[in-house]
């Protein structure tokens, strides 16, 4: 992994690059500067700042490096544009092309920032158009003109092919107009680019886009046809353009320095935020804050499962990133995997910073990984308990059905047969009557047993009817309200037996109390409440009925709450996930 370069060395090298560009600008325009000292005092430092901005991006070591290279190339060619003042040999022609190349490359550098490449087709088309207007357009103007028409010496090198004054005047008017259109198009691209920036790109790119927009608008407003025919006006325009370009340079410097400070501070921020606690939530929030990605997602490696789990302990067998996101792996120093981190795709271009942040948070990630592994084990235990509860519910339903369809039906048939023996004389009639009563009692006992295993009414009509039947059988004054539909059998059975336990306690300890039962559902959960106005004072005792209910509820990832202060009645609330 790359180490983050120290800020002083990085900025120092950028400053040296800026000094070099400033000196080049000074040397290329010496004759002009000697007569325009004020312009020199403004334009030369502005050119140096422009070069320093390119140098600062050049040293980032990531995708912004390409934008830095292009800005530096643009700054050098803009400096060469000042050789037009020499007005001899090939220098004026070279200067005019240098100006077009410098503006085109600098514009492309900003459009490519911070990705380091022209992503959109519209951006590439603008570059092609800029080449056509600023470079090919300049060539066409030279082909149809003479040097003196451009306020140059007749003996300079000039590719004059078919001089035509009318065509020349029309060409410079067209090229000037196209330059304004090109600037307007550029502004539209900058606005469009700003709207598409991700959260991680925005802090560094927005100042650059705003500064570039100001510079482009100002440069376009200074475009005049006279600059093609008057060298002094052209050089004055160069002074204005160099000065205005300092706005772009300062914006780049501001954004780059802010990003540089972010790179240096991000690992320390993770350490600060996780120094007191290293819970899964804290580690996730620390990484999200350091990398400026609020949607950051963590998946922890569990060696025993040979797979990843999410923050809730659920297995993720085939991790994949969503659209616009990417996955990177965090490892210990011994290369053992710790976690997968899902990040904004823009951070793919900032691998150095991402690696530094993950290194800084490796110990916190290790602690969070252990917590995730413990959560996974707990989830597996609870899932196993839930499966056992579901099997028990199914088995109770089977036994209830077997009792009703088997023994109970056979006893009912026997009772009918005994009724047919009423014609027998005494003492046989008395024996038959006694047997008949015993059979009916046995049928009632089997009915109670079947109802205790799994009431038929619960299976056929749901919780409301089943709870109402229990309340009638216990002889309680119950106000029943059910605002929930049918749920999975295990959920309904667990809720039913839990609420029945509450009703049984009321019948046992406060039979004269008024009782309210309410069953509701919200956000995927089923909530049941049994509340009475009895004496209160109920407690959950190990091995007792309420403790058993709590165990069954927890097996399905549910919650139980008992509120029973003395003199205020008792309130039992159970909550079960319906999924």
Report the pLDDT averaged over residues 541-566.
80
- Of the pLDDT bands very low, low, confident and very high (cuts 50, 70, 90), residue 2 is very low
According to the model, what pLDDT value does residue 226 have? 54
Q: Considering only 87-96, 360-369, 434-443, 540-549, which range has the smallest mean pLDDT? A: 434-443
Other beta carbons within 10 angstroms of residue 456's beta carbon come to 16
Gap between the Cα atoms of 219 and 537, Å rounded:
84
Burial class (CB in 10 A: 0-12, 13-18, 19+), 540: middle
Cis status of the peptide bond prior to 555, with omega within 30 of 0: no
| Nearest 10 degrees: Cα torsion 507, 510, 511, 512 | -150
Could you read off the pLDDT of 431-463 as tens digits, one per residue? 555 565 555 555 554 454 444 445 667 777 888
Residues 6+ apart with CB under 8 A from 210: 251
pLDDT at position 299, please? 87
* Mean pLDDT, residues 132-153 taken together: 90
| Local confidence band at 340 (pLDDT 50, 70, 90 cut-offs) | confident
User: Tokens standing for 314?
Assistant: 């659920």
pLDDT score for 194: 76
Instruction: Tell me: pLDDT of 320 over 70.
Output: yes
DSSP per residue over 445-483, as a string? HHHHHHHHH--HHHHHH-HHHHHHHHHHHHT-EEEEEEE
Residue 528 confidence (pLDDT): 92
Give me the residue spans of the domains in the chain.
Answer: 8-117+179-265, 280-374, 455-577
Q: How far is CA 320 from CA 253, 314, 340, in A?
A: 37, 15, 10
563 strand-pairing partners: 571
CA distance 451 to 465: 13
Query: What is the phi/psi pair of residue 523, to 5°?
Result: 55, 40
* pTM: predicted TM-score of the whole model, two decimal places: 0.56
Q: Give the model confidence (pLDDT) of 153-211 as tens digits.
A: 999 999 999 999 999 889 988 988 898 888 888 888 888 877 777 766 666 677 777 76
Q: What is the DSSP letter of 157?
A: -
Of 375 and 463, the one with more pLDDT: 463
**Where residue 286 falls among pLDDT bands split at 50, 70, 90?**
confident
At 164 the pLDDT is 93
Model pLDDT for residues 469-495, shown as the tens digit of each residue: 888 877 888 888 888 888 888 788 888
DSSP H or E run through 107: helix 91-111
The percentage of residues in the chain with a pLDDT greater than 90, rounded to a whole number, is 13
Let me know if domain 455-577 sits in CATH 3.10.20.90.
no
Q: Looking at the chain, how many residues does it have? A: 579
Alpha carbon distance 494, 523 (integer Å): 19
The CA distance from 319 to 306, in Å, is: 13
Angle at 575 between CA 574 and CA 579, to 5 degrees: 145
pLDDT confidence tier of residue 509, bands split at 50, 70 and 90? confident
pLDDT tens for 90-112 read 999 999 899 899 989 988 988 88
Per-residue pLDDT tens digits for 208-260: 777 667 766 666 555 555 555 666 776 676 777 766 676 766 777 677 667 77
Are 531 and 542 in contact by the 8 Å Cβ rule? The answer is no
In DSSP terms, 330 is beta-bridged to: 339
Who contacts 95 (Cβ-Cβ below 8 Å, separation ≥6)? 80, 81, 82, 83, 84
Residue 527: the pLDDT is: 92
What are the pLDDT digits (tens) for 5-47?
A: 444 466 778 888 889 999 999 999 898 888 888 888 888 888 8
pLDDT, average across residues 421-429:
57
**Which residues lie below 8 Å from residue 134, measured CB to CB, with a gap of 6+?**
99, 100, 101, 103, 104, 179, 182
């Amino acid at each position: 992994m790359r180490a983050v370069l120290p800020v002083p060395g990085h900025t120092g090298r950028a400053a040296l690059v800026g000094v070099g560009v400033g000196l080049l600008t000074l040397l290329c325009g010496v004759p002009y500067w000697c007569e325009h000292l004020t312009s020199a005092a403004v334009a030369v430092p502005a050119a140096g700042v422009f070069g320093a901005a390119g140098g600062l991006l050049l040293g980032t070591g990531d995708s912004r490096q390409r934008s830095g290279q292009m800005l530096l190339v643009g700054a050098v060619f803009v400096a060469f544009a000042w050789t037009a003042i020499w007005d001899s040999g090939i220098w004026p022609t070279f200067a005019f092309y240098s100006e077009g190349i410098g503006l085109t490359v600098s514009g492309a550098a900003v459009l490519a920032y911070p990705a380091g490449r022209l992503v959109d087709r519209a951006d590439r088309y603008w570059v092609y158009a800029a080449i056509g207007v600023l470079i090919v357009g300049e060539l066409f103007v030279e082909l149809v003109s003479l040097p003196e028409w451009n306020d140059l010496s007749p003996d300079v090198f000039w590719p004059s092919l078919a001089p035509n004054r009318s065509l020349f005047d029309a060409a410079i008017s067209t090229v000037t107009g196209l330059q304004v259109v090109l600037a307007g198009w550029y502004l539209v691209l900058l606005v469009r680019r700003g709207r598409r920036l991700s959260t991680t790109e925005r802090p560094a790119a927005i100042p650059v886009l705003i500064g570039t927009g100001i510079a482009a608008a100002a440069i376009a407003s200074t475009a005049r046809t006279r600059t093609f025919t008057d060298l002094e006006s052209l050089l004055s325009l160069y002074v204005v353009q160099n000065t205005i370009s300092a706005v772009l340079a300062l914006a780049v410097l501001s954004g780059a320095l802010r990003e540089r400070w972010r790179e240096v501070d991000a690992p320390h921020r993770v350490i600060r935020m996780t120094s007191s606690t290293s819970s899964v939530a804290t580690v996730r929030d620390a990484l999200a804050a350091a990398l400026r990605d609020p949607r950051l997602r963590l998946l922890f490696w569990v060696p025993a499962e040979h797979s990843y789990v999410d923050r809730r302990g659920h297995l993720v067998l085939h991790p994949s990133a969503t659209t616009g996101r990417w996955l990177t792996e965090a490892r210990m120093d011994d290369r053992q995997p710790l976690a997968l981190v899902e990040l904004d795709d823009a951070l793919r271009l900032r691998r150095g910073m991402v690696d530094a942040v993950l290194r800084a948070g490796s110990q916190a990630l290790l602690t969070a990984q252990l917590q995730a592994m413990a959560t996974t084990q707990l989830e597996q235990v609870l899932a196993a308990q839930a499966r056992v509860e579901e099997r028990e519910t199914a088995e109770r339903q089977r036994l209830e059905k077997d009792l009703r369809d088997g023994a109970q039906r056979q006893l009912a048939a026997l009772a009918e047969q005994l009724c047919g023996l009423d014609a027998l004389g005494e003492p046989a009639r008395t024996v038959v009557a006694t047997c008949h009563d015993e059979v009916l009692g046995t049928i009632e006992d089997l009915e109670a047993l079947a109802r205790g295993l799994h009431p038929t009414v619960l299976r056929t009509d749901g919780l409301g009817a089943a709870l109402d039947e229990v309340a009638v059988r216990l002889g309680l004054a119950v106000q029943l309200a059910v605002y929930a539909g049918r749920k999975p059998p295990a959920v309904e059975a667990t809720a039913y037996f839990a609420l029945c336990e509450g009703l049984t306690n009321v019948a046992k300890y406060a039979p004269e109390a008024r009782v309210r039962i309410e069953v509701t559902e919200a956000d995927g959960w089923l909530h049941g409440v049994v509340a009475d106005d009895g004496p209160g004072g109920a407690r959950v005792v190990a091995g007792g009925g309420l403790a058993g209910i709590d165990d069954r509820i927890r097996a399905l990832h549910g919650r139980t709450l008992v509120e029973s202060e003395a003199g205020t009645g008792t309130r039992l609330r159970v909550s079960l996930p319906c999924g």
